[in-house]
């Protein structure tokens, strides 16, 4: 067995072991639950139609590949397979197998690049510089790539998309470089269809690939030795054993008669992919056919709805820092750029030396037939493709899509480029050491540089939702309700979700927002405000709320968290997953004011009204601002819940004050503080929302019987200046809430 074969087998096994370890030791990624739910629906109904009725086209092809591995969800009762969690773990195996297979495929394709006709006689190009050792380096880089490990160990579409992109780019190159056999272009089109049905984001690869194919097709034809056989330029060099060509076959691929059919097929492939994407009702769009909009217009919107044309230097810098900032990619990118710079300087120096030599050459001194060459056609093809993809991402895509995971599919291209570039620097070393040993040494070096990122990926846990819902299921009682943001996981591990909770940026997760909004996956009713959440807690005897520490501060504001803190208690946590349950002896937080006030403070905030409760509880007339309380049953606290409505975005964190005053206007009890104990200060309020703001006013233990007044307002702490109360009757910018008759 040849040494390189042994090495590539070792790299493949090492890459598989890495992916297997990640597969078996980490909690599922948030989106994996959706993929597995869709795969389960395929087994049940033949189509990935989720319980909400949504056609889940995202990762369509990969979901069908994953579906057989999810049979355990159909054939085994939930309580039997759930404790071991192997049901969902099995759904990860297709990605692990496909990701592992991609390792030797990179090696094979890297070698195949070296065997194609290339521009051997042009001054700036040379035959491909991807020998066996360099192909081995590219395969090794992918084998130990943290991204390759993570997405090769998850039940998502990225491993399959990466494989298909690699095949598509290689076949596109083979179909573009002279003599450009058409079968490879047809193969690339077929791979494109499969890739688009796996990850629609591959669509951004089409323009760069077409540009690279045209450039390489033209250059390789010019240097093939047949382009100018009838011209006066006799300096062209025929490639040995070049195949005989017909008149049409001697043209660049894009000038041949079959190009029209290929263009029509490409358009049909893109149209099919766009149509399938539209069936899945992208974010912000209505169901197909539900609106009177021309089909062509709605399909075009499917392509453009996540584009944002811009060219911003700071945004480009931030994008590149995010994409190539991790140590393993940073050092590899730096080595690539340094290698290219060194290669360019060497080429320029040799160009200068040859120019000097030619200038001073005598008639007897023979001149070189060609100067040194800078790039191989395959290398130029990869640079054009990958570079234009990056350019598209920073100038065309919406910032939401400028995510590192959307670049994962193109990393093998980057590894091939990096391997080729680094080989220029190590060329002189390989004269004294075996090229294979040099490649192995480079793999070791870059793997060591990747260790911090590999370790970070392994020790940074995804939220343990499967264990969280197991805990809920084990302690479930009749009439309980479950609220969560992760409804797919709730469906898989618990069998139900009674409400979908998301307060901030919830539109991307919703269907039917204009009428009866539900989440996209399970069809659970949307609970999108703290008031709605509080009402749901008051509707059921006991409510569970499952969330994680990553999404809790992102999708929920302070008023929501204040309701959680006052009405619920944390009962379980593990690896960033949190389970809350309503307190057994809680005093329900009011959902609407008992007494309306409708007082405006400044031009930004309105006090809608309030509710009043006592501790210990006493009966209170909810329809009057005159409260009769019994002094014979001493009251320690007045619990006052204020209901605010921001009219415009407040510009400061205003402090709320509550005063209890006697008939002489002397303050006997006072409470000042930021709204919701500082969890949701006024500067974060959004116009139109209702902020439920509970306060507790502690009374004197020997408060004498009498009549008292209750006042409220807002002021700015640094200046102590109160917000102006419209139609103020107090003369001090305070709002009279009501009177208390304490007898």
**What pLDDT is attached to residue 270?**
95
Which region, left, alpha or beta, applies to residue 53 given φ > 0 means left and ψ of -120 to 50 means alpha? left
Q: Are residues 324 and 211 in the same domain?
A: yes
**What pLDDT is attached to residue 354?**
63
Which of 407, 422, 457 is the last residue before a domain boundary? 457
Most confident region among 185-199, 574-588, 696-710 by mean pLDDT: 185-199
Q: Is the pTM of this model over 0.75?
A: yes
Q: What is the CATH number of the domain that holds 717?
A: 2.60.40.2550
Report residue 68 as tokens: 């057989």
Q: Within a domain: residue 666?
A: yes
Q: Within a domain: residue 507?
A: yes
**What is the average pLDDT across 144-167?**
96
More confident residue, 314 or 30: 30
137-151, 159-173, 583-597: which has the minimum mean pLDDT?
583-597
* Residue 43, SS3 per DSSP: helix
CA angle (467, 472, 478) in 5-degree steps: 160
CB 118 within 8 A of CB 220: yes
DSSP lists the bridge partners of residue 672 as 657
Q: Are residues 428 and 471 in the same domain?
A: no
Decide: residue 276, CB within 10 A, 0-12 exposed, 13-18 middle, 19+ buried. middle
More confident residue, 655 or 133: 655
Helices (H), 482-592: 487-493, 530-539, 552-555, 558-567
Q: Are residues 516 and 627 in the same domain?
A: no
For residue 356, the tally of other CB atoms under 10 A from its CB is: 10
Task: Give the model confidence (pLDDT) of 27-72 as tens digits.
Answer: 999 999 999 999 999 998 999 999 999 999 999 999 999 999 887 6
**What is the average pLDDT across 80-97?**
74
Nearest of 347, 342, 345 to residue 374 by alpha carbon: 347
Q: Is the pLDDT of residue 239 over 60?
A: no
More confident residue, 327 or 571: 571
Helices (H), 126-230: 132-143, 146-151, 158-176, 182-196, 206-222
Task: Give the model confidence (pLDDT) of 640-653 as tens digits.
Answer: 999 999 999 998 99
**What pLDDT is attached to residue 123?**
36
Q: Are residues 535 and 630 in the same domain?
A: no
Which of 434, 457, 480 is the last residue before a domain boundary? 457
**What pLDDT is attached to residue 214?**
95
Q: Within a domain: residue 732?
A: yes
- Burial pattern 500-536, b for ≥16 Cβ within 10 A else e, equals bbbbeebeebbbeeeeebbbbbbbbbbbbbbbbbbbb
For tokens 């077409």, the residue is 210
Q: Within a domain: residue 337?
A: yes
**What pLDDT is attached to residue 268?**
97
| Rounded (to 5) percent helix, strand, coil in the chain | 50, 15, 35
**What pLDDT is attached to residue 138?**
94
Residues 6+ apart with CB under 8 A from 726: 599, 600, 601
**What is the average pLDDT across 665-682?**
90
Structure confidence at residue 130 as a pLDDT band (50, 70, 90): very low
Q: Which domain holds residue 504?
A: 465-582
Q: Are residues 139 and 180 in the same domain?
A: yes
CB 121 within 8 A of CB 368: no
Q: Within a domain: residue 161?
A: yes
Most confident region among 294-308, 434-448, 594-608 by mean pLDDT: 594-608
Q: Are residues 418 and 473 in the same domain?
A: no
Residue 97 host element (H or E): helix 93-113
Residues 6+ apart with CB under 8 A from 296: none
Q: Within a domain: residue 82?
A: no
Which of 556, 582, 608 is the last residue before a domain boundary? 582
For residue 597, the tally of other CB atoms under 10 A from its CB is: 19
Q: Are residues 735 and 708 in the same domain?
A: yes
More confident residue, 304 or 467: 467
Task: Give the model confidence (pLDDT) of 336-393 as tens digits.
Answer: 888 778 777 776 776 676 666 656 654 444 444 444 444 567 888 999 999 999 999 8
Q: Are residues 278 and 393 in the same domain?
A: yes
Q: Are residues 682 and 658 in the same domain?
A: yes
**What is the average pLDDT across 203-217?**
95
For residue 166, the tally of other CB atoms under 10 A from its CB is: 23
Nearest of 402, 377, 385, 392 to residue 323 by alpha carbon: 402
Q: Are residues 496 and 613 in the same domain?
A: no
**What pLDDT is attached to residue 518?**
96
**What is the average pLDDT across 75-83?**
55
Residues 6+ apart with CB under 8 A from 183: 175
11-25, 44-58, 182-196, 236-250: which has the minimum mean pLDDT?
236-250
* Residue 607, SS3 per DSSP: strand
CB 174 within 8 A of CB 134: no
Q: Within a domain: residue 571?
A: yes
**What pLDDT is attached to residue 291?**
59
**What is the average pLDDT across 404-419?**
90
Q: Is the pLDDT of residue 324 over 90?
A: no
**What pLDDT is attached to residue 241?**
40
Residues 6+ apart with CB under 8 A from 77: none
Nearest of 536, 533, 525, 545 to residue 52 by alpha carbon: 525
User: What whole-number distance in Å separates Cα of residue 205 and Cα of residue 188?
Assistant: 12
Q: Are residues 96 and 211 in the same domain?
A: yes
Rounded to the nearest integer, the mean pLDDT of the chain is 84
Q: Is the pLDDT of residue 18 over 60?
A: yes
**What pLDDT is attached to residue 83?**
42
Q: Are residues 441 and 486 in the same domain?
A: no
Task: Give the model confidence (pLDDT) of 479-509 as tens digits.
Answer: 999 999 999 999 988 989 999 999 999 998 9
More confident residue, 134 or 576: 576
Task: Give the model confidence (pLDDT) of 614-629 as tens digits.
Answer: 887 777 766 667 787 7
Q: Within a domain: residue 304?
A: no
80-89, 106-115, 425-434: which has the minimum mean pLDDT?
80-89
**What pLDDT is attached to residue 405?**
79
> Based on the structure, what is the number of domains in the chain?
3
**What is the average pLDDT across 550-557?**
90
């Amino acid at each position: 067995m040849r040494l390189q074969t042994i090495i590539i087998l070792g790299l493949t096994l090492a890459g598989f072991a890495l992916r297997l370890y990640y597969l078996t030791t980490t909690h599922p990624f948030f989106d994996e639950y959706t993929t597995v739910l869709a795969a389960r629906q395929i087994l049940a109904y033949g189509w990935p139609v989720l319980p909400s009725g949504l056609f889940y086209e995202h990762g369509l092809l990969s979901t069908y590949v994953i579906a057989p591995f999810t049979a355990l969800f159909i054939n085994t009762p939930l309580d039997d397979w759930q404790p071991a969690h192997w049901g969902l773990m099995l759904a990860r195996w297709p990605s692990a197998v496909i990701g592992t297979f991609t390792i030797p495929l990179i090696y094979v394709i890297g070698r195949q690049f070296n065997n194609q006709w290339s521009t051997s006689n042009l001054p700036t190009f040379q035959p491909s510089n991807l020998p066996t050792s360099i192909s081995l380096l590219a395969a090794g880089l992918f084998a130990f790539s943290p991204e390759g490990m993570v997405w090769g160990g998850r039940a998502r579409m990225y491993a399959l998309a990466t494989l298909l992109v690699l095949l598509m780019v290689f076949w596109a190159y083979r179909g573009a470089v002279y003599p450009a056999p058409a079968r490879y272009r047809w193969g690339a089109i077929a791979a494109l269809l499969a890739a688009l049905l796996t990850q629609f984001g591959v669509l951004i690869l089409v323009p760069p690939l077409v540009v690279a194919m045209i450039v390489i097709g033209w250059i390789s034809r010019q240097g093939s030795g047949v382009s100018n056989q009838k011209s006066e330029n006799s300096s062209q060099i025929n490639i040995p054993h070049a195949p005989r060509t017909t008149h049409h076959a001697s043209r660049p691929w894009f000038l041949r008669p079959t190009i029209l059919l290929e263009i029509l097929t490409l358009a049909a492939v893109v149209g099919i992919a766009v149509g399938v994407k539209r069936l899945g009702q992208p974010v912000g769009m209505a169901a197909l056919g539900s609106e009177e909009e021309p089909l062509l217009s709605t399909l075009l919107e499917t392509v453009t709805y996540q584009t944002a044309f811009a060219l911003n230097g700071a945004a480009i810098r931030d994008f590149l820092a995010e994409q190539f900032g991790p140590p393993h990619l940073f050092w590899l990118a730096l080595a690539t750029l340094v290698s290219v710079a060194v290669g360019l300087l060497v080429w320029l120096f040799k160009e200068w030396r040859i120019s000097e030599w030619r200038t001073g050459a005598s008639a007897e001194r023979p001149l070189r037939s060609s100067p040194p060459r800078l790039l191989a056609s395959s290398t130029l093809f990869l640079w054009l493709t990958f570079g234009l993809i990056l350019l598209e991402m920073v100038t065309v895509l919406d910032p939401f899509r400028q995510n590192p995971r959307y670049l994962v599919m193109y990393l093998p291209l980057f590894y091939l480029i990096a391997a080729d570039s680094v080989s220029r620097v190590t060329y002189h070393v390989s004269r004294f050491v075996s090229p294979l040993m040099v490649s192995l040494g480079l793999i070791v070096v870059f793997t060591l540089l990747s260790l911090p990122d590999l370790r970070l990926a392994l020790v940074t846990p995804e939220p343990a939702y499967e264990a969280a819902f197991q805990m809920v299921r084990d302690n479930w009682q009749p009439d309980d309700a479950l609220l969560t943001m992760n409804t797919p996981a709730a469906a898989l591990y618990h069998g139900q979700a009674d409400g979908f909770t998301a307060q901030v940026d919830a539109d991307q997760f919703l269907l039917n927002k204009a009428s009866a909004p539900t989440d996209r996956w399970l069809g659970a009713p949307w609970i999108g405000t703290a008031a709605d959440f509080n009402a749901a807690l008051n509707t059921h005897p006991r409510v569970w709320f499952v969330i994680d520490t990553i999404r809790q501060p992102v999708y929920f504001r302070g008023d929501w968290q204040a309701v959680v803190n006052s009405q619920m208690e944390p009962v379980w946590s593990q690896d960033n997953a949190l389970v809350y349950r309503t307190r057994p002896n809680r005093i329900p937080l009011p959902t609407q004011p008992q007494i309306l006030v409708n007082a405006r403070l400044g031009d930004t905030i309105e006090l809608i009204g309030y509710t009043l409760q006592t501790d210990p509880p006493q009966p209170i007339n909810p329809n009057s601002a005159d409260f009769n309380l019994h002094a014979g049953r001493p009251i320690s606290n007045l619990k006052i819940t204020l209901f605010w409505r921001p009219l415009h975005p407040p510009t400061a964190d205003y402090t709320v004050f509550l005063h209890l005053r006697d008939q002489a206007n002397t303050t006997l009890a006072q409470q000042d503080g930021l709204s919701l104990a500082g969890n949701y200060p006024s500067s974060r309020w959004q116009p139109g929302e209702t902020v439920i703001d509970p306060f507790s006013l502690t009374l004197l233990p020997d408060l004498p019987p009498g009549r008292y007044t209750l006042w409220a307002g807002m002021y700015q702490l640094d200046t102590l200046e109160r917000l102006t109360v419209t139609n103020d009757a107090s003369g001090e910018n305070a709002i009279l809430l009501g009177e208390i008759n304490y007898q």
